[in-house]
A and B are shown apart, each in its own frame.
Chain A
Amino acid sequence: MAENAANTIAKERVCDLATRNGEPRWLKDLRLNAWEAYLKLPAPNHRHEEWHKTGIEKLDLSQYGLLEESKSAPGKARDKSELVAKSIEAAATLTQGYGATGTFVELDAELASKGVIFKSLSSAIEENEDLLKTILTGDKYVPESDKPDKFALLNRALFQGGVLLYVPAGVVIDKPFVFNVDMPAVASKLAIFPRVIVILESNAQAQVVTVSGDQAASADGGLFVDMLTEVYLGANARLSGVNVDKLSDTTYQMSKTRTHVERDAHFDYLTCGLGAKQIKSDFETVMAGPGSYSRVQGLVLGSGSEQYSYNTTQAHKTPNASSDIIFRVALKDKAQSIYQGNVLVDKIAQKTSAFQSNKNLLLGQKAKADSIPRLEILADDVKCSHGATVGPVDPEQLFYLQCRGLSVQEAQEFIVSGFFVQVLDTVNITGAAAWIGELVAQKIHS
């Protein structure tokens, strides 16, 4: 990565951003602190473990400008139904249109009367300042990460747009909150910094669906999306989430999802990588209380020369918690994927159960996949396992299907859909599995 990012996005810009949005002093300070920390961290390069084979050196942030004024940005409005299928019935939908689409939200009065907050971050700054300050400044919700991250810091300095979902204790909502990040077709290089904050207080239950979509850029254009998602689950809370990244081949996306899972809470999340020039996505999940459980699953279908890099961290800081990671990757053409899975078990985290599985199906002759597990286990009474496979479609499966009348092409599609169905079958958000299955089918055919 070119280190001269500071040339373009200087300190004054951070101040400008805060001032222009009329943000309170504490938030401006947070932005500046994050900016200072960002500058101090060395730029990532391929020698850093988690940036192996990501081609990070090629990314020159100095070429990217900031969105000056969302209304003046190019791009034409489109129907939000293009982003999320009709098969999903949402509790509320918020579309963050970077560009002419604008931002709109629908939340029914009944949920609002229960104290549920689902609104753009800029509205939350104006209307729920105290709550937001507690979330962003203290350690009550999502504590600082042990591992500072360059792009997470950059987002904290420059975030523009995003969403806050706050569900008070005991409130149960069985339909998803949908957050669309809808990015414009750009004629130049543009950097975008969405931020998602999800807070479930104790015994709350909710579902979220986030979608990143864009429109193909013109020849000199391209997006750099730096997304930060922070999730806090209070005691015995339940969150199911699905995220779909379906971006064009001129878009870079760096995203970080940090989740703090308190006692007996469950975090169940599926991320789907269905397109981008490059996606680098990190999931850092902290099992903070006994009985906590997290399952992070990935479904990646790459084509062309797309590159995917997923890093997961299952951090067990308490005894008697469990976590599962299941990543399924299928790569067409010369698409590439690298998966790195970290299991960190603290000395006190006895009776931890941590599982990791990464299966890669190479459909293209030139497709490549790597899988790297890292286990750092300091407790002595734990159950941890990991497994990875990389390989082409099993020729015996192909033959079997061909013997039943399916062409090689049809048989491959069958096998790939089946490969993903095992992940999709676990998704408990109504309509989500069918929608993603449809997106997968479209991409297999393309």
Chain B
Amino acid sequence: MTAKQPILQIIDLHAKVEDKEILKGVNLTINGGEVHAIMGRNGSGKSTLSYTLMGHPRYQVTSGKMLYKGQEISEMSPDERAKLGLALAFQYPVAIPGVSVSNFLRATTKAVRGKEIPVKEFRQELKAQMAKLGVKDEFLSRYINDGFSGGEKKRIEILQLSLLKPALAILDETDSGLDIDALKTVSEGINALATPETGILLITHYQRLLNYVQPQFVHVFQDGQILKSGGPDLALELEERGYDWVQPSPAVAAK
């Protein structure tokens, strides 16, 4: 394989929230065409990793590197990162009362793509994606995430990502709270994001999602680090045996 620039390189990343260190030396490389799953217990720091990657102001990088296509992003604002090609599907999407889904999608798609999209063209694209994700037309006039059920929020997150077409999609527990039908639909949406130029980072608590979105790499996250990495089989093993048996991979143990 040629030495193509990775989509994302995280090197010995440390980050804190209000003086508490949460990320304690994360190393991860995602190349184009790869799907990585990060699994771990609640409180292991998985979500912190996703917020830190997007630049949430509460999360402060204390050392290490975050390189997107070779470019250091840790000093950039979240909107600059979004415009570069990073996108996060939130675990708990935030409601913005008074802002309709259609206005929201149009403004954000325009912002990320950096150009005006003709109304008709945008509408066609939107309708096609909505149909794929089983999102009804009536959603367009509702306020974004306001009074949405858990499943509705997750569908709309994936709908947004399908319009933003990020080169790095980070999905933070997108599977949580979904029934099996919704999980299948949302998984199809995630699979549709994958191209040879796209990297996908799935953060999840359950192995179930990985039946529908198949990662090449599975990482176990614990205490602010990747404790062990492996292939899809690792997820199944975690499902069967829980997290207690996991021993650090040699690379991690050596540190």
Residues of A within 8 A of B (CB): 394-397, 399-408, 410-411, 414-415, 417-422, 425
Question: Which B residues from 79 to 129 make CB contacts under 8 A with A?
Answer: 79, 81-83, 87-88, 90, 93-94, 96-99, 104, 107-108, 111-112
- Once the chains bind, are A406 and B111 in contact (CB under 8 Å)? yes
- Once the chains bind, are B112 and A405 in contact (CB under 8 Å)? yes
B residues within 8 A CB of A395? 57-58
- Once the chains bind, are B57 and A399 in contact (CB under 8 Å)? yes
- Once the chains bind, are A414 and B107 in contact (CB under 8 Å)? yes
| Given contact pairs A397-B96, A418-B96, A402 touches B79 in the complex (Cβ within 8 A) | yes
- Once the chains bind, are A406 and B99 in contact (CB under 8 Å)? no
- The number of A-B residue pairs with CB atoms under 8 Å apart is 78
A280 to B126, CA, bound (A): 47
What residue of chain A has the Cβ atom nearest to residue B100's Cβ?
A: A421
What residue of chain B has the Cβ atom nearest to residue A406's Cβ?
A: B111
- Once the chains bind, are B160 and A418 in contact (CB under 8 Å)? no
11 contacts between A and B (CB under 8 A): A396-B94, A400-B93, A400-B96, A401-B96, A401-B108, A404-B111, A406-B107, A414-B99, A415-B96, A418-B97, A418-B99
- Pick the contact of A403: B82, B98, B104, B143 (CB < 8 A): B82
What residue of chain A has the Cβ atom nearest to residue B108's Cβ?
A: A404
Q: How far is the CB of B126 from chain A (nearest CB, A)?
A: 15
Q: How far is the CB of B238 from chain A (nearest CB, A)?
A: 29
Q: How far is the CB of A394 from chain B (nearest CB, A)?
A: 8
B residues within 8 A CB of A415? 96, 99
Residues of B within 8 A of A (CB): 54-58, 77-79, 81-83, 87-88, 90, 93-94, 96-99, 104, 107-108, 111-112, 143, 160, 164
- Once the chains bind, are B99 and A403 in contact (CB under 8 Å)? no
- Once the chains bind, are A417 and B98 in contact (CB under 8 Å)? yes
A172 to B93, CA, bound (A): 46
A417 to B100, CA, bound (A): 11
- Once the chains bind, are A406 and B108 in contact (CB under 8 Å)? yes
- Once the chains bind, are B108 and A422 in contact (CB under 8 Å)? no
- Once the chains bind, are B78 and A402 in contact (CB under 8 Å)? yes
- Once the chains bind, are B56 and A399 in contact (CB under 8 Å)? yes
A residues within 8 A CB of B81? 403
A406 to B144, CA, bound (A): 15
- Pick the contact of B54: A394, A403, A419 (CB < 8 A): A403
Most A CB atoms within 10 A — which of B57, B97, B99? B99
- Once the chains bind, are B98 and A399 in contact (CB under 8 Å)? no
- Once the chains bind, are A407 and B79 in contact (CB under 8 Å)? yes
A residues within 8 A CB of B107? 406, 410, 414
A residues within 8 A CB of B79? 402-408, 411
Q: How far is the CB of B78 from chain A (nearest CB, A)?
A: 4
- Once the chains bind, are A410 and B97 in contact (CB under 8 Å)? no
What residue of chain A has the Cβ atom nearest to residue B145's Cβ?
A: A400
A414 to B101, CA, bound (A): 12
- Once the chains bind, are B97 and A404 in contact (CB under 8 Å)? no
A381 to B111, CA, bound (A): 53
- Once the chains bind, are A402 and B98 in contact (CB under 8 Å)? no
A408 to B82, CA, bound (A): 13
Q: How far is the CB of B172 from chain A (nearest CB, A)?
A: 11
- Once the chains bind, are B78 and A403 in contact (CB under 8 Å)? yes
Q: How far is the CB of B59 from chain A (nearest CB, A)?
A: 10
A293 to B129, CA, bound (A): 44
A402 to B98, CA, bound (A): 17
12 more contacts with CB within 8 A, not counting A404-B111, A404-B112, A405-B82, are: A397-B94, A397-B96, A399-B78, A400-B96, A402-B78, A403-B88, A404-B87, A404-B160, A405-B83, A406-B111, A414-B96, A415-B96
| Given contact pairs A395-B57, A399-B78, A405 touches B111 in the complex (Cβ within 8 A) | yes
Most B CB atoms within 10 A — which of A403, A406, A421? A403
A395 to B21, CA, bound (A): 21
A residues within 8 A CB of B56? 399
Most B CB atoms within 10 A — which of A402, A411, A422? A402
A408 to B54, CA, bound (A): 14
Q: How far is the CB of B45 from chain A (nearest CB, A)?
A: 18
Q: How far is the CB of A234 from chain B (nearest CB, A)?
A: 35
B residues within 8 A CB of A407? 77, 79
What residue of chain B has the Cβ atom nearest to residue A401's Cβ?
A: B96
A119 to B143, CA, bound (A): 42
B residues within 8 A CB of A408? 77, 79
- Once the chains bind, are B94 and A400 in contact (CB under 8 Å)? yes
A408 to B143, CA, bound (A): 20
| Given contact pairs A399-B56, A402-B82, A404-B160, A420 touches B111 in the complex (Cβ within 8 A) | no
- Once the chains bind, are B90 and A400 in contact (CB under 8 Å)? yes
| Given contact pairs A395-B57, A399-B57, A404-B111, A418 touches B98 in the complex (Cβ within 8 A) | yes
> Considering the complex of A and B, which 10 residue pairs feature the smallest CB-CB distances, nearest first?
A418-B98, A405-B111, A421-B98, A402-B78, A404-B108, A405-B112, A418-B99, A400-B94, A405-B82, A402-B79
What residue of chain A has the Cβ atom nearest to residue B99's Cβ?
A: A418
A163 to B15, CA, bound (A): 65
A425 to B98, CA, bound (A): 9
A residues within 8 A CB of B160? 404
B residues within 8 A CB of A399? 54, 56-57, 78, 94
Q: How far is the CB of A411 from chain B (nearest CB, A)?
A: 8
A410 to B90, CA, bound (A): 20
A389 to B227, CA, bound (A): 45
B residues within 8 A CB of A411? 79
What residue of chain A has the Cβ atom nearest to residue B92's Cβ?
A: A396
Q: How far is the CB of B86 from chain A (nearest CB, A)?
A: 8
